[in-house]
Amino acid sequence: MNTKNQLFRLFIIIFLIEFTFLIAHEEEKIITDEVVSTIITSRNELNSEDKVRFEKGVIQAKELWNKSDGNINDFEVFIQNNFYPQGKELDTLFEKIQRNLEIINGHFNKMMLDIKMPVALDWGPITDIDRMFDSFDPSSHFESDMYKNKIAFITLLNFPYYSLDEKIKNENKWSRKQWAHARLGDLFTSRIKSRLLQDFAKVNSEADAYIYEYYIHMGNIIDNNGKHPFPKELKLITHWNLRDELKSQYANEKDGLRKQELIYFIMQRIITQDIPLKFINNDEYDWNPITNKLYKDRTEIKFEKEPNTRYQKILNQFEAFKEIDKYSPSMPTYILRKFTGEMEMSFDEVEDLFISFVSSPTVKKVADLIKNRLGRDLQPFDIWYDGFKSRSTINEEELTKITKKLYPDAKSIKEDLPHILVKLGWNEKKAKYISEKIEVDPSRGAGHAWGAEMKGVSARLRTKISQDGMDYKGYNIAIHEFGHNVEQTLSLYDIDYYMLNGVPNTAFTEALAFVFQMRDLELVGIDSKDPNKHNLYVLDNFWSTYEIMGASLVDQRTWKWLYENPNATKAELNEAVNDISKEVWNEFYSPVFGVKNSNILGIYSHMISYPLYLSAYPIGHLIEFQIEQYIKGKNLGTEFERMAKIGKLTPNKWMREATGNNISTEPLINETEKALTNIK
C-alpha cells in the first residue's frame, strides 16, 4: 500500500473518531438532579395540581435534554418561560399544538399512503424504484425536529407523560379534556434518531414486500397420485388466502379433506423453509408438498430450499428495534413499547389472559362437537374449522357468483357503501356522510384498511378484485376492512378532541371490524333462518379465539426469545420458531387434538410483516363478543357510532363506557357452555 493511501485511511479514521465523539458530546446529559430540585422548589405559587404537572414535566424534560439543546442556564430559563398554569393560556397552547399535530400527522400519513400505492395496489409489476420509495418514511425526522425547535420540550413540560399505572389510577377521575392532555403527553417520551426510524421503515417495507409477493400457484400443486386437485388459475398468497381456501373446503364433501391436507403440508413447508425456492410465485413447476418433490414437465428436478428468508425478515426488524431501544428510556424494549405503551396492556397480562382461555375445559367440549360434526378425528388444520358459520353449508362457488355479480369492480363497491350502512342501521344522511369519506382501491394483497389522520382526507378500503369481479373471500375481507374504515372515520371526524381520535389499541378496531364482517351474508340477502344461529355464532367465535390465541402466544414467545438471544442467526430463529410453535401446540392443543408436535401455529404472515400485531385479534374477538352481547336488540348503527366516538381511553375504561364491563374471557366461555347445551 502506498503512502498516499495510508495517509487517506488515517484521515478517515481520525474523522470518524472525531465525528463519533462530537455526536456523543451533543447527546451528553448535563442537567443534574440538583438543578431539577432547585427549579421545582422555585415555583411555590403553583396550586397542587399544577405542581404535580410541573414536577413531572421538568423531570421528563431533564431526561431528554442534551448538551446540544443548551447549557444549564438555558434549561432553567426555558422552563421558567414556557410552563403555563391552568387557565386560558394553557388551553390556547393545547389547541394550537393539537391543531398543528393534525395537520402534520395528516399530511405525513397522506404522503405515505400515496407513495406506497404502487406496492400496495394492483398496478402491475413492482419496480425497484417503487420498492425504494416504499421504504421511505417522510416523517422520520419529525421527532428530532420537534426537539431541535423545542416544541417537544414545551409539550412535555406542560403536558407530561403518565405511565400506564397512573392512567389506570386516574381513568375514572379525568375529564375528556384531561384525557386529551394525557394523550398529548404520550407523544414525546423518547428521542429516537431519524436515521433509526428510517432504517426501520426500510426493513419493515421489505418484509411487507416479501409477504405481498409470496404466492402459491395452486394449479401446480400435485398429490401422491400425480393429479392436480386445484383449479389451474388459483393463485393464493400466504398465509391469508391459503387459510381461507382451507376453510372453504369444509363445504366440499367430495374431496375437501384431500385439498385441506395438501394445504396443511404447504404451510408446514413454508414454516420450516423446506419449500422449493423456485416454486414461490412461479407457475413453471409442479410441486408435491407431501413428498417435497419438484417437477418440470413431469420430470423430478433438484432444487434449493428457501434460504430462511422468512426468518431473516424478522431478524432485520429486530435489529432495527434494538437500536431504537437505546433511545427509549421509559420503555427500552419493543415488547414493552408494543404492550405497555401501544396496547396499554402488559405482556404478562395478555399472556395470562390467553393461557386462561386456551386452558379452559370448554375447549375440549367444543372440539368433541367438531369431531362429531366432521365424523373423523381432528387434524391440526381443524383449528380453522369453519362449520359453525351460516355460510358453511353454502358452496363458496355459489357465494362467489353472487359477489362477482354485485361487485365487478372497485367503483361498484364504492357506490354500494352507503347502502351497506343503511342495511346495518344507519340513516341515509349519516350513511352518505360516512361513505363520502372512504375510497375503495384494488389491493395487491389480501386487503387492508388505511385510515386518514386529518379531516379532509379519505380513509382507504383496499380489497382484492379479480378481472371478473370480487370473489367471496375478497368480499368477506372487504366487509371487515369497511368496518375499520367506518370506525376510523367516525373517531376522527366526530370526536371532541383530536388527541382522543381512534380507539385504545388495534384490538378494538379489529373488534369493531368483526362486527361488520359477521354480517356479510345478511348484506347480500342471505339471512339464515337456522334456530341455532346464535349458538353457532357463539361456537364460531369461541373456536376462532382459541385458534388465534395460539398463534399469538407463538408470536409473543418468539420475541421474548429474540431478546434472550440477541445474536441469533436466521437458521437459529427458524429452529426456535418451530420449537416454540410445537411447545405451544403440545401444551394447549395436542391434548385436544390428540396430535403432537405440529408447527402450524407459526404460519401467520403477521409475524413477518406486523411484529407482535397478532395479539390484537384474540383480544378483538373477546371485545367483539362483549359488544355483540351488549347491542343485542339495539340499533347497530347507533351503538357502533357511540362506541367509535368514545376515543382513545385505556382499554378497560373504554369497555366500561361501551358495554359496562371490563375485557374478560368469562362472557364468551359462559355463553359457549350454554350453546353446547342448547345446540340441536
Q: What pLDDT, in 10s, does the model give residues 253-311?
A: 899 999 999 999 999 999 999 999 999 999 999 999 999 999 999 999 999 999 999 99
Amino acid symbol at 279: F
What is the band of 26 on the pLDDT scale with cuts at 50, 70, 90?
Answer: low
Strands 235-237 and 286-288: unpaired
What is the band of 86 on the pLDDT scale with cuts at 50, 70, 90?
Answer: very high
DSSP 8-state class, residue 455: T
**What is the dihedral angle through the alpha carbons of 202, 310, 601, 233, rounded to the nearest 10 degrees?**
100
pLDDT attached to residue 193:
85
Q: Which three cell numbers stand for residue 634?
A: 339495539
**pTM for this prediction:** 0.85
pLDDT digits (tens, 9 = 90+) for 601-650: 999 999 999 999 999 999 999 999 999 999 999 999 999 999 999 999 99
Query: Mean pLDDT in the chain?
Result: 92
pLDDT reading at 390 higher than 70:
no
pLDDT digits (tens, 9 = 90+) for 463-501: 888 889 999 988 999 999 999 999 999 999 999 999 999
Q: Which three cell numbers stand for residue 555?
A: 408470536
pLDDT reading at 547 higher than 90:
yes
pLDDT reading at 214 higher than 80:
yes
Q: What is the mean pLDDT of residues 390-405?
A: 82
- Distance CA(573)–CA(315), nearest Å, equals 8
Q: Which three cell numbers stand for residue 145?
A: 425536529
| Residue that wins the pLDDT comparison between 201 and 580 | 580
Q: What is the mean pLDDT of residues 91-120?
A: 94
What percent of the chain has pLDDT above 70? 95
Q: What is the mean pLDDT of residues 74-96?
A: 97
What is the band of 11 on the pLDDT scale with cuts at 50, 70, 90?
Answer: very low
pLDDT attached to residue 12:
44
pLDDT reading at 4 higher than 70:
no
Q: What is the mean pLDDT of residues 573-584?
A: 98
What is the band of 3 on the pLDDT scale with cuts at 50, 70, 90?
Answer: very low
- Distance CA(257)–CA(263), nearest Å, equals 10
Neighbouring-strand partners of residue 450: 460
Q: DSSP string covering 199-225, please?
A: HHHHHHHHHHHHHHT-EEEGGGB--TT
Nearest to 654 by CA among 536, 534, 549, 502: 502
What is the band of 137 on the pLDDT scale with cuts at 50, 70, 90?
Answer: confident
Q: What is the mean pLDDT of residues 205-209?
A: 92
Q: What is the 3-state secondary structure (H, E, C) of 78-120?
A: HHHHHCCCCCHHHHHHHHHHHHHHHHHHHHHHHHHHHHCHHHH
DSSP 8-state class, residue 228: -
- Distance CA(77)–CA(59), nearest Å, equals 15
pLDDT attached to residue 13:
40
- The residue with cell 403477521 is 606
What is the band of 661 on the pLDDT scale with cuts at 50, 70, 90?
Answer: very high
What is the band of 543 on the pLDDT scale with cuts at 50, 70, 90?
Answer: very high
pLDDT digits (tens, 9 = 90+) for 148-172: 999 999 999 999 999 999 999 999 9
- Distance CA(591)–CA(367), nearest Å, equals 10
Q: Which long-range contacts (CB under 8 A, 24 or more apart) does 663-667 make?
A: 663/353, 663/619, 663/622, 663/623, 663/626, 664/622, 664/626, 665/353, 665/356, 665/357, 665/360, 665/622, 667/622, 667/625, 667/626, 667/629
